[in-house]
């Protein structure tokens, strides 16, 4: 019997794959103050799921397409009379609502909506595992390739221009990476919890890191611990796996905040 025949091994591998993709991306979300942006992209993915099921195409493809379309729409409309948080709030909740309505029309397709909203990591199959790791490798490769340029454009756009970089192009690369992270994370934590997996590990890692690279690696370690800890809690207490992963991450954030307070008070 293959190790991959064990549903728990598959769940752990899927969770680690998502953690390694979401954590470094989450650092850029924190640095750029893009929390609402990540949330809006994740909410839009449910519309992509509905479209994929209706058109009989892979869910991953539909989620990437709609998440990317949402991110590009926000980038295009920002600064045209609406504040960014208002624009993101309107688009995020509208996309989620249209997605849920679209799903209700899929009478010929059996769909577990809760699995897409909150994740169903324990039901990950071999094919899902392949998609998750391929997507994660693409995200990590993209961020590694453009790391210095992305960092410069994030920390100092004027310096980026002076160095011959186009901050808008780097923003587009981040947007693509974010859409990929959302698509690979849907099966694991669901659209409502993806933003938490982007933000919390990065926020936990921040007090312990002295360089951006250290923060990205620490965030990845925190995310992996959250996934494995959440799966253990889920198995031990019979709780939903996706929310349990986020709960473990939240406890780590609380411990990190306490450590930061103690260190500052010392």
Percent over 70 (pLDDT), the chain: 92
Run of H or E residues at 211: none
Question: What are the structural domain ranges in the chain?
Answer: 3-194
Query: Helix, strand, coil: what percent of the chain each, to 5?
Result: 85, 0, 15
- Per-residue confidence band for 100, with pLDDT thresholds at 50, 70 and 90: confident
Least confident of 48-52, 209-213, 241-245: 48-52
pLDDT digits (tens, 9 = 90+) for 27-66: 998 888 877 777 777 888 888 888 887 788 887 888 888 8
Mean per-residue pLDDT over the chain, rounded: 84
The three-state secondary structure class of 192 is: coil
Residue count (the chain): 266
Triad 78, 72, 98: Cα angle to 5°: 95
pLDDT score at 254: 94
What are the structure tokens assigned to 179, written together? 């859409």
Backbone angles phi, psi at 107, to 5 degrees: -75, -25
CB–CB of 70/18 below 8 Å? no
Query: Domain 3-194, what fold?
Result: ABC transporter involved in vitamin B12 uptake, BtuC (1.10.3470)
Q: How many CA atoms lie within 13 A of 17 on its CB side?
A: 29
**In a 10 Å sphere around its CB, with 0-12 CB exposed, 13-18 middle and 19+ buried, how is residue 102 labelled?**
middle
Give CA–CA dist 188/197, Å, rounded.
10
pLDDT score at 1: 44
Q: What is the pTM of this model?
A: 0.86
- Per-residue confidence band for 188, with pLDDT thresholds at 50, 70 and 90: confident
Give CA–CA dist 204/154, Å, rounded.
20
């Amino acid at each position: 019997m293959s190790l991959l025949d064990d549903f728990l091994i598959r769940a752990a591998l899927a969770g680690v794959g998502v953690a390694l993709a979401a954590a470094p991306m989450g650092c850029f979300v924190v640095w750029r103050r893009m929390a609402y942006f990540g949330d809006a992209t994740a909410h839009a993915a449910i519309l992509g799921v509905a479209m994929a099921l209706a058109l009989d195409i892979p869910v991953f493809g539909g989620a990437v397409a709609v998440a990317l379309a949402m991110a590009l729409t926000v980038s295009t409309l920002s600064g045209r009379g609406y504040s960014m948080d208002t624009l993101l709030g309107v688009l995020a909740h509208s996309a989620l609502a249209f997605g849920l309505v679209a799903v209700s029309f899929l009478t010929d397709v059996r769909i577990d909506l809760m699995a897409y909203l909150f994740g169903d990591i324990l039901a990950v199959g071999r094919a899902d595992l392949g998609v998750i790791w391929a997507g994660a490798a693409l995200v990590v490769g993209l961020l590694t390739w453009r790391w210095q340029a992305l960092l410069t454009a994030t920390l100092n756009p004027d310096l980026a221009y002076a160095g011959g970089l186009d901050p808008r192009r780097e923003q587009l690369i981040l947007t693509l990476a974010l859409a990929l992270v959302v698509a690979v994370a849907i099966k694991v934590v669901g659209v409502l919890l993806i933003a938490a997996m982007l933000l919390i590990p990065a926020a936990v890692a921040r007090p312990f890191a002295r360089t951006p690279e250290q923060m990205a690696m620490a965030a990845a370690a925190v995310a992996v611990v959250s996934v494995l800890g959440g799966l253990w809690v889920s198995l031990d207490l019979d709780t939903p796996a996706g929310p349990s992963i986020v709960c473990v991450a939240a406890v780590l954030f609380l411990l990190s905040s306490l450590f930061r307070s103690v260190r500052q008070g010392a």
